[in-house]
Amino acid sequence: MRSLIGEQPVTSLVGMARGPGIGLQTGPFRLRLQCDDRATVELIRRLYSKHPLLDTQTTLFDFSMSLRRPLGLRRWWKPQIKLIADAQTPFEPFPLDHAYPLFEWGYNWHIAMQAHQFLMLHSAVVEKDGMALIMPAMPGSGKSTLCAALMLRGWRLLSDEFGLIRPLDPDLHLHPMPRPIPLKNRSIDVIREFAPDTVMGPIFPQTRKGDVAHLAASQESQTHAEKSVPAGWFLFPQYESATKLEFEELSPGWTFLKITGNSFNYRLQGARGFRAASQLVKNCPAYTLHYSDLDQAIPQIEALHAQLINQRPEQATPAAR
C-alpha cells in the first residue's frame, strides 16, 4: 500500500528532505526534493498531503531539485535560499522566506524545460462529468481565480498551469498534475470571499509576481491524479471589473493561433504538435469569456459544459489511463 505525503510525521519528512530527499509524485511526474528549510517541508506536507510519497532508493525520478541555504554570509544576513535543478541554477537565490514559491516555480521550470513527451499548453484544466475544460490564458487574465473557484464548486482540478497532452494519443486526453493553485494579489481575497472556509497556505508578500498564497488541490483532485480525461472545450477567460458576463464563440483559426501561441513547446513538437493542435481544434469548441463576478460566471460555465457534453458525438465517459 502506498504511503501519502500527509501521513508522514513532520520530523520524518524534514529528515528525508535533509538527507536522501522526499520522493513526490504529482500525476505523471516523480520529483526528488532535497531541502534544508523546515517551513517549506511543512507546507509541502500540508498542500501535497494526498500525493504519493515515493521511495528514493527504488524510484527512477524525472526531476531532481534541491533547495539549499547558501554557506557564508547569506546564511545569516538577509538569508537566502538557492534552487538547484538537475545540477543547474535557473534562478537567482530568493529570500529564505520565499522558499516555498521558489519550490513551486522550480517545479514548473523542470516540467516546462523537460516534459516534452507532452504537448504542454499554458492553461488551467478542470474536469466535470468526464470531460475536460481547458482554460489557456495569459497572466492577469483571472485564469487561476476562475480555476480555483470551479474547483471549490466541485470540479476536479487537473492543473492550474499545464495542459498536458500526449501528442500521439488519438483521444487527446488531458493528464492531471493537481498541484496547489498560486493565487496572486487581489485574487487571494476574492477566493477567501468566494469560499470563506477555504484553507490556504500563508501569504508570501512581494514575490516577483506580487503577493502569492497557495490553495491546495481538493482531496478528490489529489486522489485521482492518475485519471486522465478527454479534451472537451476551450475557454479563454478574461477578468474585467464591472464588465457584463459575455461568452463569444471563437473561430477554429483563432483557436489554433491561441492554443499554439500559449503552448510551452508547440514548436519543439514539430509535426506531431501540429497534428495534435489541429485535432484539438476540430474536437473542441472554443469560447472567450469576459467576467467580473464568479458567482455569476460559474453557473453559466456549468450550463455550457453540460450542453457541450450532450452535443458530443459520443458521450464522454471518465477513462482511467
Partner 1 sequence: MTPPSSITGRWRTCNYPELLQETWNGETFLFNPASGDTHLLNAAAIHLLEFLHQESASFDQMTDTLFPDADEATLDALATQFHQLMLIGLICEA
Output 71 or 271, the one with its CB closest to partner 1.
Answer: 271
State the CB neighbour count (10 A cutoff) for residue 292: 15
Residues 127 to 186 in contact with partner 1, rule: CB under 8 A = none
Piece in contact with partner 1 (CB under 8 A), picked from 69-77, 92-100, 146-154, 272-280: 272-280
> What is the nearest approach in angstroms of partner 1 to the Cβ of residue 250?
11
The answer to whether 187 contacts partner 1 (rule: CB under 8 A) is: no
Does residue 278 touch partner 1 according to CB under 8 A? yes
By the rule CB under 8 A, 308 interacts with partner 1:
no
For residue 265, state whether it binds partner 1 (rule: CB under 8 A): no
Q: Please, are residues 4 and 53 in contact by the beta-carbon 8 Å criterion?
A: yes
Q: DSSP strand E in the chain: where? A: 3-4, 22-26, 29-35, 52-54, 63-68, 80-85, 94-95, 119-128, 131-136, 156-159, 162-165, 173-175, 181-184, 204-207, 210-215, 229-239, 246-249, 286-291
| Per CB under 8 A, 263 contacts partner 1 | no
Give the long-range contacts of residues 269-277, CB within 8 A, separation 24 or more: 269/116, 269/119, 269/167, 272/119, 272/167, 272/168, 273/119, 273/167, 275/167, 276/119, 276/165, 276/167, 276/168, 276/172, 277/119
Q: Which is nearer to partner 1, 168 or 306 (CB)?
A: 168
Q: Does 252 bind partner 1 (CB under 8 A)?
A: yes
**Interacting residues of 151 by C-beta distance below 8 A, sequence separation 6+:** 126, 157, 181, 215, 217, 218, 221
Residue 251 makes contact with partner 1 by CB under 8 A: yes
Residue 270 binds to partner 1 (criterion: CB under 8 A): yes
Q: Which of 48, 100, 118, 256 binds partner 1 (CB under 8 A)?
A: 256
**In angstroms, rounded to a whole number, what is the distance separating the alpha carbons of residues 294 and 282?**
29
Smallest gap from residue 264 Cβ to partner 1 (A): 16
Q: For the CB of residue 232, give the shortest distance to partner 1 in the complex, in Å.
A: 19
Q: Does 4 bind partner 1 (CB under 8 A)?
A: no
Q: Is 206 in the site for partner 1 (CB under 8 A)?
A: no
Is residue 253 at the binding interface for partner 1, with CB under 8 A as the rule? yes
Q: How many residues bind partner 1 (CB under 8 A)?
A: 13
CB of 266 to partner 1, least distance (A): 8
CB closer to partner 1, 60 vs 271: 271
Who contacts 303 (Cβ-Cβ below 8 Å, separation ≥6)?
A: none
Query: 153 near 139, Cβ under 8 Å?
Result: no
Which residues sit at the interface with partner 1, rule CB under 8 A? 251-253, 256-257, 260, 267, 270-271, 274-275, 278, 281
